Amino acid sequence: MEQNKIICISCPIGCRMTIQSKDGKITSIIGNACPKGIKYAEEEFINPLRILTTTVKVIGGELPLVSVKTEKSIPKRLLLKAMVEIAKIEVKAPVKIGQVIKDYLLGTGVSLVATRNIKRVDSNLFS
Amino acid sequence: MKLEYDLVIIGGGPAGLAVALEARRNTVKDILLLERDKYLGGILPQCIHNGFGVQYFKEELTGPEYAGRFITKLKDCQINVKKETMVINITSDKRIIAINRDDGLLHIQSKAVVLAMGCRERTREAIAVPGSRPAGIFTAGTAQRYINIEGYMPGREVVVLGSGDIGMIMARRMTLEGARVKAVLEIMPFSTGLIRNKVQCLDDFNIPLKFNHTITRIEGGKRVEKVTVAQVDKNLQAIPGTEEEISCDTVLLSVGLIPENELTSEAGIKLDPVTRGPIVNENRETEIEGIFACGNVLHVHDLADFVTEEGEIVGRAVGEYLKGNRKFRSQPIKIFPGDNIAYVVPQHIDFIVPGRKKIKLFMRVKKPEERVKINLIDDKGRVLTAYKKRIVTPGEMVSVFLPEVLLDDKLKNITISIKRD
Amino acid sequence: MKTDVVIIGGGVIGTAIARELSRFNINIILIEKEDDVAMGTSKGNSGIIHAGYNDDFNTLKGELNIKSNPKFDKLCADLKILFKRIGSLVIGFSQEDFRKLKELKENGEKNGIENLEIIRGPKLFELEPNLNPQAKYALYAPSAGIISPYKFTIALADNAVINGVKVLLETEAKDIRIEEKQVYGVVTNRGLIETRIVINAAGLHADEIAEAAGDNFKINPIKGEYQLFDKQWGNLVNHILFPIPTKLSKGILVAPTVHDNLLIGPNSYWVKDKDDPATTKAGTEEVCEGARKLVPNLPHQDLVASFAGLRADIEGRNDFIIEASKKIRGFINVADIESPGLSSVPAIAEMVSGILKEVVKEISPQLELNCQDDFVETLVEQPKFADYLDKTGEWQEIVEKDTDYGEIICRCEKVSKGEILRAIHQPLPARSLDAIKRRVRAGMGRCQGGFCSPKVLKILSEELKISPLKVSKKGPGSEILKTKTKEIIKETGVKFKDEVRV
């Protein structure tokens, strides 16, 4: 038997739930105030997912960075690993909002896309 | 340079953008939007995290994307925008003085003015954290600008004071960029930010959040070297013997936001001592007719979506004001905060509006409470209407509807109180 | 490097002496260990120009304060800095206080101050409507005034530089080279400066410098903490309000500043560390409590800054040391400049000038001290946008000549980019964020630089042609930024790959 504690984020109550499991299968969930909690706890237990938002280096842009996000959620455990990969990326200005910066991030099938426009400038004194 | 407009909006953040678009939809003609920064969107371009737009667009966007939607629309509807322009004075007769590089000083006369200047962060000095004054102490928003816009990391080992949303978001942001966030300290026994941020920004990365804790001393000559942290008692005073030293090179502060109302005060507009924003009616119109306020300059919001909603209220109201077909009540209804309510916006109801069904009231509570009733009470102590809430917390704005049918001519005051259900 | 005179210390005393001596046709170097002048006692004090009733005229303190007070109007007009002669009130609550006020008045009159007056009754509250209603008496001294002590210091340094003084920043005196009881040079972290005359104006560290030259006295630092409130509160009081003075200090005052803030403080206690102007919780409370005795309703919600200053004190001694060393030729001590040091600055500088003449006669009679014909006594007024808010037409002309004056960088204090650029290129240039702040007030206001510091940092980086990573708050070691975004994760990335941190 294993126990995991999860705080529900479905509403401001923030129910503190305890999940009991055996061999990776949930046996009981307690502490939830409503059915939303059960759904959230199950998702968080089986495969917690997060949208990753960060920045990518831009060459020749009006700003040195462009803000980006993963188009879909990726497994939580990959967040820091993804950051290491993203740190290596450089993109040339101009960048358009929605532009795919990297396909198949860490083989997840999820793309990294720009969340803003960056204009091109001839020189950037601040980079 | 002398200019005349129907509407001048001061501030191009989410509030100002919403006002501009909605005013145009309500047939307001000559609109000028003044923005002090190089870009529109206010603080949103540096808020690269997601969570925006769930209420308004019914989809989850990042800050830059949320701002981008309004900026794109603005370009389509020929609204005059002057960026990198700082307003330095507003008068009660709606004259505005602004300055920028290209025009020098601008003297603008407007028929209506909207204040949408946003807010600033409370500083280390405002909360009087003792100790030395080295480099390495930043408000969370300033650090956010350095990291996300300018492209520089302000520190490697971080302690965050205050569990406001920006503080928690920056704890995650700095962790993702490789810094070590050693602790987030909250002087209150509860978080002042959203629960979702506590879970996804702190718990996800095993960043400890210490309630009832504060920094009692910052040390370091040239750069921050360490902080002393202590537990506090009920009166928020440090408990001797609980002190603990944490070495760090950076302190981030997320200890509250203050509406930027210096221009407002100089125009002679009265402020609410709790919100620190102007006192307004249901149109978000200040005590000076034709001068409106919305967004974080009026009261600090938890979500940008609610700022947009408020901007749209003002956009419509400006349309009505300029048409001149408004009908005042014989006397305004004043709305007062009662038990466990810190403030309510709007502070009074001034108009008779045919066809209006209800008025949305926004408020913040003083302390968290579960299973409550929000009672709207009249002068005689009668409960006009009540709303049940499973939970209320200071970190999340609460809203209730005031049904129009309750607003008879004799009603002078409404008090909103929270009662245990 | 070789020069005629080295002044050690870029506080208000060192810079005032530098300016005074720059009247002569001699080479002067002023060395300062920090990245700017006014980094010690000169920035952390009350900024009061006292009337001069506190001390005995037979002491240097008494004499030099009285001599200096009338000089401030012209001096500050010349230096283009604000000086406001708003007058001071020492507040009394009891019969005993009344006797003390009378003693102060008599002492002041003995010192030659003519316009002192003891005020009582309703007139007191006409002068100060927000004064503690229990106050009964006050000694009114119309000739007291307020000044910005760091702006004064910077202006003195600017003026000295214009007149040929070389100011070496980040230059610390490590030793004094002495041969046969005669000064031969100053050893610094940047090498030896050969000189026959050294003026020790090292403030809190003056004892260490003096020791190197064989003079013995011990400076004990006294800390004083202050609180500064938002500009909207400068008019809470109209005068400098003091409590009845004690032996140790003039007490916790309440006063407006020249920039319309409200200042309260200082408390007063001995500390060990000369370089630790940290504020404390107990100090904050003491200062508030002390100030509330004079003005009960203080705007605590609008606190803009807390700070502390350290001032020099020699135990058992109650006067300035301004004299040539009796042991070493060419060595002049200007030490133990405690209150009313700031109020005595012009006369101290003149006195040192007189001592220098004697020393020169003694050690190098061939060196003739002549006044330079081209001595520049005044600085040029530099326009500040904050002063033009009601004469926008005139500012328009300035912007038309230089568009940098149309770009507002600091919204709280209304400072234009043009003013910041000027600060970076003025005779004693600003090299850090704090140095900009002291010169033009960008970052001094209610947001404390939250909005403008990234912009000022960028301007400094562009103008000094250095990486933003090199821009500091107050000199090397206090850089604002650590690395470029992405650099840390690149360094530590490998570590994360196998580590399950999430």
Name the residue ranges covered by the structural domains of chain B.
Answer: 1-120+256-323, 123-255, 330-421
pLDDT value of position C499: 42
Which candidate in C50, C205, C239, C259 is catalytic?
A: C50
* Interval C68-119: pLDDT, tens: 999 999 999 999 999 999 999 999 999 999 999 999 999 999 999 999 999 9
Whether the Cβ atoms of residue C210 and residue C323 lie closer than 8 Å to each other: no
Non-local CB neighbours of C447 within 8 Å, separated by 6+ positions: B120, B121, B123, C411, C412
What is the nearest CA distance from C493 to chain A, expressed in angstroms? 5
Strand order in the sheet with B244-247: B213-219, B226-231, B244-247
How far apart are the C-alpha atoms of B337 and B345, rounded to whole Å? Answer: 10
* Interval A46-91: pLDDT, tens: 999 999 999 999 999 999 999 999 999 999 999 999 999 999 999 9
| Chain A neighbors of C465, CB-CB under 8 A | none
Mean pLDDT for the stretch of residues C457-474: 98
* Interval C178-235: pLDDT, tens: 999 999 999 999 999 999 999 999 999 999 999 988 889 999 999 999 999 999 999 9
Q: What rounded mean pLDDT belongs to chain C? A: 95
Does the beta-carbon distance from A127 to B396 stay under 8 Å?
no
Ranges of each domain in chain C: 1-81+145-219+315-381, 88-142+220-311, 385-470
Q: Which amino acid is at C260?
A: D
Q: ω before B346 within 30° of 0 (cis)?
A: yes
Within an 8 Å CB–CB cutoff, is residue A126 touching chain B? yes
**C88-142+220-311 maps to CATH 3.30.230.10:** no
> Among C283, C406, C479, whose Cβ lies nearest the Cβ of B100?
C406
- The answer, yes or no, to whether residue C500 has pLDDT greater than 60, is no
- The answer, yes or no, to whether residue A15 has pLDDT greater than 90, is no
pLDDT value of position C462: 97
Beta-bridge mates of residue B61: B52
Those residues of chain C whose CB sits closer than 8 Å to some CB in chain A are: 458, 461-462, 468, 484-486, 489-490, 493, 496-497, 500-502
Within an 8 Å CB–CB cutoff, is residue A76 touching chain C? yes
pLDDT value of position C438: 97
Of A56, A83, A84, which to mutate for an interface test with C (greatest number of C Cβ within 10 Å)?
A84
| Chain A neighbors of C467, CB-CB under 8 A | none
Q: Do domains B1-120+256-323 and B123-255 have the same CATH topology?
A: yes
What is the nearest CA distance from A42 to chain B, expressed in angstroms? 16
Q: Up-side HSE of residue C185: CA atoms within 13 Å toward CB?
A: 10
Does the beta-carbon distance from A13 to B390 stay under 8 Å?
yes
Non-local CB neighbours of A35 within 8 Å, separated by 6+ positions: none
**Where are any strands of DSSP class E within A63-122?**
65-70, 74-75, 90-92, 100-102, 112-114
DSSP string, A2-44: EEEEEE--SSTT--EEEEEEETTEEEEEES-SSHHHHHHHHHH
**What's the angle, vertex CA B249, arms to CA B248 and CA B255, rounded to 5?**
80
| Chain B neighbors of A12, CB-CB under 8 A | 194-195, 391-393, 395-396
Sign (positive or negative) of CA dihedral B282, B286, B292, B297: negative
pLDDT value of position B230: 97
Of C33, C433, C434, C446, which to mutate for an interface test with B (greatest number of B Cβ within 10 Å)?
C446
pLDDT value of position A123: 59
Whether the Cβ atoms of residue C38 and residue C28 lie closer than 8 Å to each other: no
C454 → chain A, closest CA residue = A126
| Chain C neighbors of A87, CB-CB under 8 A | 486, 489-490, 493
CB pairs under 8 A between A and B: 85
Does the beta-carbon distance from B97 to C392 stay under 8 Å?
yes
Does the beta-carbon distance from B151 to A76 stay under 8 Å?
no
What is the nearest CA distance from B60 to chain A, expressed in angstroms? 10
pLDDT value of position C136: 97
CATH code reported for the domain at B123-255 = 3.50.50.60
What is the nearest CA distance from B258 to chain C, expressed in angstroms? 10
How far apart, in Å, are the Cα atoms of B6 and each of B30, B110, C214?
Answer: 5, 5, 77
Does the beta-carbon distance from A125 to C500 stay under 8 Å?
no
How far apart are the C-alpha atoms of B297 and B279, rounded to whole Å? Answer: 11
> Among B156, B223, B250, whose Cβ lies nearest the Cβ of C478?
B223
> Among C400, C407, C482, whose Cβ lies nearest the Cβ of B153?
C482
Tell me which residue of B307, B337, B49, B22 sits closest to B166, measured CA to CA: B49
How far apart, in Å, are the Cα atoms of C124 and each of C51, C100, C233, C294?
Answer: 19, 17, 20, 12
What is the nearest CA distance from B143 to chain A, expressed in angstroms? 14
Which range has the worst mean pLDDT, A25-34, C13-22, C127-136? A25-34
> Among A83, A117, A127, whose Cβ lies nearest the Cβ of B176?
A83
How many H-runs (helices) and E-runs (strands) does chain C carry?
14, 24
How far apart are the C-alpha atoms of B417 and B415, rounded to whole Å? Answer: 6
> Among C276, C396, C407, whose Cβ lies nearest the Cβ of B101?
C407
DSSP label of C312? -
DSSP label of B404? G
| Chain A neighbors of C496, CB-CB under 8 A | 80-81, 83-84
- CATH assignment of B330-421, among 1.20.81, 3.20.20, 3.30.70, 2.60.40: 2.60.40
* Interval C327-340: pLDDT, tens: 999 999 999 999 99
Whether the Cβ atoms of residue B378 and residue B411 lie closer than 8 Å to each other: yes
- CATH assignment of C1-81+145-219+315-381, among 1.20.1250.20, 3.50.50.60, 3.20.20.70, 1.25.40.80: 3.50.50.60
Sign (positive or negative) of CA dihedral B283, B284, B285, B286: positive
A: neighbours with 3+ CB pairs under 8 Å?
B, C
> Among C278, C408, C481, whose Cβ lies nearest the Cβ of B153?
C481
How far apart are the C-alpha atoms of C242 and C397, rounded to whole Å? Answer: 44
- The answer, yes or no, to whether residue C496 has pLDDT greater than 80, is no
> Among C232, C278, C400, whose Cβ lies nearest the Cβ of B104?
C400
Beta-bridge mates of residue C5: C28, C197
Q: Which of residues 19-78 of A touch B (CB under 8 A)?
A: 33, 50-55, 57, 63-65, 67-69, 76
Does the beta-carbon distance from C485 to B141 stay under 8 Å?
no
pLDDT in tens, chain B (421 residues): 679 999 999 999 999 999 999 999 999 999 999 999 999 999 999 999 999 999 999 999 999 999 999 999 999 888 999 999 999 999 999 999 999 999 999 999 999 999 999 999 999 988 889 999 999 999 999 999 999 999 999 999 999 999 999 999 999 999 999 999 999 999 999 888 888 899 999 999 999 999 999 999 999 999 999 999 999 999 999 999 999 999 999 999 999 999 999 999 999 999 999 999 999 999 999 999 999 999 999 999 999 999 999 999 999 999 999 999 899 999 999 999 999 999 999 999 999 999 999 999 999 999 999 999 999 999 999 999 999 998 999 988 999 999 999 998 889 999 999 999 8
pLDDT value of position C495: 55
**CATH architecture assignment, domain C385-470:** Orthogonal Bundle (1.10)
At the topology level of CATH, where does B1-120+256-323 sit?
A: FAD/NAD(P)-binding domain (3.50.50)
Instruction: Provide the Cα torsion A57, A62, A63, A66; round to 10°.
Output: -50
Q: How many CB atoms lie within 10 A of CB C227?
A: 25
DSSP label of A103? S
Q: Which helix (H) or strand (E) holds C309?
A: strand C303-311
| Chain C neighbors of A88, CB-CB under 8 A | 490
- The answer, yes or no, to whether residue A24 has pLDDT greater than 90, is no
Tell me which residue of C207, C56, C53 sits closest to C142, measured CA to CA: C53
| Chain B neighbors of C404, CB-CB under 8 A | 101
Give the three-class secondary structure for B163: coil
Known catalytic membership, residue C239: no
Question: What ipTM score was computed for the predicted complex, to two decimals?
Answer: 0.95
Percent of chain B with pLDDT over 70: 100
Which residue do the tokens 């990198």 mark? Answer: B84
Does the beta-carbon distance from A87 to C458 stay under 8 Å?
no
Tell me which residue of B222, B206, B226 sits closest to C33, measured CA to CA: B222
pLDDT value of position B78: 84
